Structure 1
Amino acid sequence: MTTTETERNRKIVLDGFAEFARGNRDVLRTLIAADFVEHSPGNPSGRDAFIEHILNSPFARSRLEVKRVIADGAYVVIHYRMVEPGEERGTAVVDIVRMQDGLIVEHWDVLQPVPEPGLVPNGMF
């Protein structure tokens, strides 16, 4: 069976995200290119520096709940809820990655605290 670039990239990212969410931190080394470029403020570029940053961030100790995935060619977007231990509402996150040869080569993200339900009558997700 052949798959399109979009389907292949969507599967790689979603499977890797699920592995990480289950506690497999080593999966990052198989997903991220050595010359990885980060576009989010405060996060370092380069595979090793970025992985070190992620492993020491709230992301590594949070429950991650995927809400939707959008893929288009080399780009994959994951919209999810990140809930740190002891938190109730968590953070709404959108990660955008660019894939090349089966690896993540670029990353952007947007984060927003999930407000009280009354402030978002149609829900965050």
Structure 2
Amino acid sequence: MSNSNAEKNKAVVLEAFDILFNKRDYVTAESYWSPNYIQHSAHIEPGRDGLFNLIKAAPPSLKYEPGVILAEGDYVIVHGRFSNIGLPANWIAADVVRLKDGILVEHWDVIQDEATEQQSKSGNPMFGDSFPK
């Protein structure tokens, strides 16, 4: 895969995540997620509807921030933060997405509660350059 295709796939994933998680524009989001979307997350019901219903049920304050993003072939991995999720801690997630023809068709994730400065044994934040407030 050429570097331009990897960059295009990264841009598609970042735009899709922003449209769904931050803007909550479900109509536009449908054009980014396949109707046959395959979900591997233990936190999300099957398919595109499972993902969309999860976001619809989340607090309106939900915010997604992308961090490091890598792409190779049809796969994109983005390390991000989900904040204001209605739980005691933010989630730090590594989302792995497979694309086909510019559409998100499959997803895996690894999710962890974000550590505070007092909880961090390394002394470093899990996301970005600073600890959550």
TM-score of the pair, normalised by structure 2: 0.77
Q: Which runs of 5+ in 1 are unaligned?
A: none
User: Is 1:76 the equivalent of 2:104?
Assistant: no
Equivalence for 2:124: 122
Partner amino acid, structure 2, of 1:123: P
Equivalence for 1:36: 37
Partner amino acid, structure 2, of 1:29: E
> Of Structure 1 and Structure 2, which has the larger fraction of its residues in helix?
1
1:117 to partner: Cα distance = 0.6
Equivalence for 1:45: 46
Q: Distance in 2 between matches of 1:70 and 1:95?
A: 11
Partner amino acid, structure 2, of 1:100: K
Cα distance, 1:38–1:114 mapped onto 2, change above 3 Å:
same
Q: Distance in 2 between matches of 1:34 and 1:21?
A: 18
- Once the two structures are superposed, what CA deviation does each residue of 1:60-96 show, in whole Å capped at 9, x if it has no partner? 6412222221111211111111111677852211111
Q: Distance in 2 between matches of 1:119 and 1:42?
A: 24
Q: Distance in 2 between matches of 1:45 and 1:80?
A: 22
TM-score of the pair, normalised by structure 1: 0.81
Residue identity over aligned pairs, in percent, reads 28
SS of 2:53's partner is helix
Residues 11-26 of structure 1 mapped to structure 2, 5 A cutoff: 11-26=11-26
Contact 1:9–1:73 (8 Å) recurs in 2: no
1:41 to partner: Cα distance = 1.6
SS of 2:110's partner is strand
Q: Which runs of 5+ in 2 are unaligned?
A: 128-133
Equivalence for 1:98: 98
